Structure 1
């Protein structure tokens, strides 16, 4: 803990010196413009007009270059952008490199990520705003670091050998530090996939993994649409297989509690390789394996669409029970993939729930797009099953009902029901 405090104090002093230098030169608060090229050992980047409200309908790009042989490290000191569970409206993207680099993360709302580290001496920030809600923007500090100095606060990088190991900072000597973000980009040959296993796992426990957590994504960037799973707690997730030849593993710790951390291993496998896993019963979030396509017969979708039973009769037979607002509903063949902003959770099961600021959301696959029929912007009660990826699935046999305030009392009673 003493080391963490010392590191944070050192960062605060660095920011103070930077701000003092700028103020001494200009005799007034620094003025931040839309984008630019920044070079050197360190510097400050702020959104256009910070700390005033950033303008609407803008796209600003900042390109950072630190000296050759070093890596760029970025820390957000302040973040206040329009909040959305998927960061679709106003957001900041951070990339390793200047052109076609790996995306290290997309951020919105007010939750500040830990330190972000490029794989080389270049990094890019891009801020996009739409026509509506705005905030005060962001203030960040970048600095140069030697690659071998990354052990205490910095971690991650590109992994392209046939097998390897990745760990949280300080493993196994002491707890991982607070306020870090690690992103490992694993790249296999094009005809292979990637298997990931965790040998030891201990990350701050929370029912929704809102604080410290590990997220795994198919592909080369951090993208919620390609998220395989989100994990925390003290039980190792089940082995994970990628869909293609690239995978991103992101670890994030906030500025409060820490834990032992983890050690994980990866190896490349032929594309035809398959694996069967059983989720550990005590894992906080669902252990997931390679996504398995849901196969439902045409006969299922030809059933007459008629809701059966009541809230009470369906509660115990369902894996999950939530109320939420449908914020997107995208047809995929004969099914619909819906993103639901959660109002309340009455039965979680292994449902994967994502957190952005104070907003929680989840993915639900409606097996037959006309049964039950849901509309974007409306509130519903969803009861159904959960697939191996932690995604909710709803078929004609499950229970979906338009949510009204009069339902709250009955749902509150069911929440405490033993099944």
Structure 2
């Protein structure tokens, strides 16, 4: 059998106490001289260690110690991670003393200390105890009380450990527990649209950094309109230390934004907007949503030339709008010596038209 399964015994002397180190997947311990009567003034400790990912199950096959009020005389104490789990003494359980009986003791981690002490005398012979221990697998996925051991999405237990996995479109963070999203290359070039935090209105992923860019042609200005439901983790004293939105529009910066108050409508006065969304490794907040729209720089209202007309007729004109100018019957434009029936101009990003309004000239009558 491999060394891994062997019990390694190391006897040390610590200030009068015998300490035995037990390393292995199983083993047993017993009081001195068992099953003969144990001696007075005994002080023994067994430190049991099993591999990480396991805990220790200790159960007694026999137990016979001197009875005493609150186990003042002889006793067995079982501890794990410096926490006292049980104190046993006597031959039967009473209001002031307890024997292990058929119950077993389970450690919280992969270590356990069992201490046996007897006082200076016994009025009769007590046979002591015999106990066995074994390593049992920890189901980390069921350890709900320890948040550090719970996976963000899916938890898979195996003998000696566990691993986490994530839902589709998520990736596992370097902490091997948190699920995050890759969201650093979101570019919007349409003149209007909707942008949300991942999974909105459900809780957004942890440990993520998302970058959204709205890139329009110069000459347009973008407006953001946030929905009323806005929910980012906040702090009462420090501005947005956990999760936040940071908006950059040209040289203008807005944020950080967090909490439960919607930013409402934001006029960016820019054709290019960057939105950075950061989330830390905790929280169950629901995120944000905004619609964006854009308008072009305005151009002056076009007035038709004398003896001419324009199409379309609008109260307002803005960047990229085009206007057709036509002359009435019997009139034409003269351009470069040629007569032209229609002329088109366009509103430029500078807020001016591509050319001035031409003049409609009367055509000469021909025989």
Return the structure number with greater strand share: 2
TM range (shorter): 0.3 to 0.5
Return the structure number with greater helix share: 1
Larger radius of gyration: 2
* TM-score normalised by structure 1 residue count: 0.29
